Structure 1
Amino acid sequence: MRIALLSGNRLSLPVAASANVILFVLLALFQLQLAHAESRSLDQVNLASSDDTPTAVSPPKRPTEITVGAYLIGLSRVSPPSEAFPSFEVEMFVDLSWRDHRLAFASPTGQPMVFLEEEAEEKLSEIWSPDIEIQHEVEQRTTDSIELMIFPDGTVQYEESFGAVVNARLDLRRFPFDKQTFDLEIQSFVWDQNELKLIVNEQLLGMDTDFYTPEWTVTGIEALLSQRSEIRDENAFSTFTFRIHATRHGGHYLLRILMPLMFVMVLAWSLLWADPIDRVRIGFIALLTVVATHTVISRSLPRLHYPTFSDILLTICYFYAAVLVVESIWVNRVALKSTERASEIDRKMRWILPLGTSVVLVISILILWI
């Protein structure tokens, strides 16, 4: 009887273990089936939400109006005119604002959600944004600070302080007394004029009048709106242009180059009272002075297809010195036959040469400045 009981216990142990294994397998299969069902349900929810809330892939309406404000902190640098591809560097503050009803939320206090720096960049990547970029940049702009605010009614306000280097188009006809306009163009990279429209916020336009720029004075700013066609899309893009008006300080060129040249020309004019034999040698010295000055100024300019004010002035000085040399040789030959005739020529040239030069110079200035 004892032997039978022992054998019975030995037989019941494998049966119990098998039952436990079967129960564990059934439980695992049930959990796997439940997880699969939850996954399918979540996929369906995500698919439905992506169809119903296209916040990050499309503008809230067509076209979405973006108000733009810009403030010039400073014109940091303008490349020298000798560069073939001139550029300018600015420090600016830009404010963009639009309304996206999909971002509206309930707020008892009415306070906006505020995101700064990295948080602002991350949040901006999660919502729809105008994807603004600066046209004709020499290099990617450097962002100093970012602030993103989302108000309860869905209004989004984006503020950025940055520095940028942009290509410049210079008109050097009046160099070194020229005035230039530097254009910074802001445009959406993705959304054309049918989907996005830029609007100027006049209250947020301005400039820092205390900022000092070497060799330049910023005289004013203005904002322009236009439609620009790009090769990347068949439709035009709404473009905001922030135009900077600046005047070059011509004192450096006036004091160190032009005034010494004028002084040499006046001294050369005084030679008309000197002996004709000594005039030729000094006249050639004046001519060489003009050549040297022209060389210095030419190094300050690129290869232009039009004459500048400095080119016209130096050409007049060339003519002035050449006439002085030719007149001196002529008077020297006339004096061999008639001293009175030579003196009469000198008396006339003392007035004709400076007056004629002045008239040509005034006409040239009027042509360039009017």
Structure 2
Amino acid sequence: MARILLACLWLLGLGLIAHAEEAGEGLTALPRGVELPVRVRVAVRVLNVLEVREVGGQARLHLEITQRWHDPRLAFDAVAQGLSREDRVGAEADERLKAIWSPGLVLDNQVGGRDSRTVALSIHAHGEAVVIERFEADVRVRMTMDAFPFDQQNLTLALSLPRHPQQEAVLMTTEADRQFSGIERALAVVDWRPIGLSFVNDLAMGWNARSYSRLNVTVTLAREAQRYVLRIFVPVIAVLAVSLFVLWGPGLLEKDKGSLIFSSLLALAAISFTFESSFPGAISLNTPVAEMISLGYLYLVSVLLFEVVLSVVVAQPGGRWREEAEALRGHLRWALPAMMLIVCLGAALRALPG
């Protein structure tokens, strides 16, 4: 009899331990009574673009990220409590989030911490939880300057759930969620204008070779090219236009032509340093502006070379090739500037979007 009583007490103890473990997990374990994987709906709003650093491949954004998921354990009687949802903000929301299951959404390409962070949590009577988080953060993005200053940049935000493989939780966005997504029209960066947002689902591989859900949110920005035309192209054209005076100016000596060309080369070098300082990446990276300046060196040297050599041949009264040199000189006066103009226009047109 004593053995039977002892066995019953032992089984009762096991049951109490199991119940205690289950209670210890409480609401922080994966939601029960729902179909796995748990669907975490995400909406993203870009409240502001504070800075774009092309050379460093970084951007500073002010974001609002909304997460929604359903957990039956959070449901409550709206009539008994006299409200349809519970709202918490700031520290209260953070404390409540520690006591319930949350997806653990992270921004994979974030650099550093989050500044000016605010968070709000709403729990609806039917068990839906909504977390809205606003913060400023630096993100590492891939940028290309091939079309500067006519470029568009795609800033990708990689959102993922590193705590849960895709068999347990997945990120998704629906048409209803996209109504809460978007980008503000007035941005702090005056040289950029917003184009829009796009969402693409992806997978990320974890350390244990398990796949995790990822949602790539792409913010598309277009550079305000008209702000750069006068500051970039007019100085370059003005320096290259000196070649027309060398080619067509009457009565110029060879040493005067050389002085003008070498002065233009120095001015072009000074412009390239100025551009790189004012517009980082405009010269150091492969841009149409860098291509024009590089070809400008070759063009100015070619003008000087052809003009000096042909002038020497033409200056010989009884020279064998005097007439041919005179005709070639007349053609090159038109051909060299025309070829340079066509090449520059081609580089600019090739960089235009679309």
The bucket for the TM-score relative to the shorter chain is 0.7 to 0.9
- Percent identity, aligned pairs only, is 21
In the alignment, structure 1 residue 74 sits paired with structure 2 residue 48: yes
Per-residue CA distance 1:79-130 (angstroms, 9 max, x = gap): 2x3x4x3211111111111110111111204511111111110010000000
| Equivalent residues in 2 for 1:271-350, closer than 5 Å | 271-274=246-249, 275-277=251-253, 278-299=256-277, 300-301=280-281, 307-338=286-317, 343-350=326-333
SS of the residue 1:337 aligns to: coil
Residue in 2 aligned with 1:14? Answer: none
SS of the residue 1:70 aligns to: strand
Cα distance in 2 for residues equivalent to 1:244 and 1:288? 40
In the alignment, structure 1 residue 97 sits paired with structure 2 residue 44: no
Pairwise CA distance, 1:215? 2.2
Residue in 2 aligned with 1:360? Answer: 343
Q: Which runs of 5+ in 2 are unaligned?
A: 1-11
Cα distance in 1 for residues equivalent to 2:351 and 2:193? 21
Cα distance in 1 for residues equivalent to 2:350 and 2:227? 24
Are the aligned partners of 1:173 and 1:307 in contact in 2 as well (CA < 8 Å)? yes
Q: 1:225 aligns with which of 189, 195, 201?
A: 201
Pairwise CA distance, 1:316? 1.9
| Equivalent residues in 2 for 1:1-370, closer than 5 Å | 45=16, 47-51=18-22, 54-60=26-32, 61=34, 62-79=36-53, 81=54, 83=55, 85-108=56-79, 109=82, 111-200=84-173, 201-230=177-206, 232-251=207-226, 253-274=228-249, 275-277=251-253, 278-299=256-277, 300-301=280-281, 307-338=286-317, 343-365=326-348, 367-369=350-352
Cα distance in 2 for residues equivalent to 1:291 and 1:217? 31
Pairwise CA distance, 1:350? 2.2
Cα distance in 2 for residues equivalent to 1:302 and 1:292? 14
Residue in 2 aligned with 1:10? Answer: none
Cα distance in 1 for residues equivalent to 2:282 and 2:328? 42
In terms of fraction of residues, the more helix-rich structure is: 1
Cα distance in 2 for residues equivalent to 1:170 and 1:134? 18
| TM-score with structure 1 setting the length | 0.79
Q: Which runs of 5+ in 1 are unaligned?
A: 1-40
Are the aligned partners of 1:276 and 1:332 in contact in 2 as well (CA < 8 Å)? no
* Stretch moving more, 92-101 or 280-289: 280-289
Q: Letter of the 2:180 partner, please give it.
A: L
Pairwise CA distance, 1:361? 2.7
CA-atom RMSD, angstroms? 2.6
Pairwise CA distance, 1:253? 4.4
Are the aligned partners of 1:334 and 1:341 in contact in 2 as well (CA < 8 Å)? no
Are the aligned partners of 2:68 and 2:130 in contact in 1 as well (CA < 8 Å)? yes
Cα distance in 1 for residues equivalent to 2:241 and 2:300? 11
SS of the residue 2:299 aligns to: helix
| TM-score with structure 2 setting the length | 0.83
How many corresponding residue pairs? 325
Structure of greater Rg: 1
SS of the residue 2:62 aligns to: strand
Cα distance in 1 for residues equivalent to 2:13 and 2:126? 30
Change (3 A) 1:310 1:211: closer
Pairwise CA distance, 1:307? 2.7
Are the aligned partners of 2:90 and 2:120 in contact in 1 as well (CA < 8 Å)? yes
Cα distance in 2 for residues equivalent to 1:223 and 1:333? 66
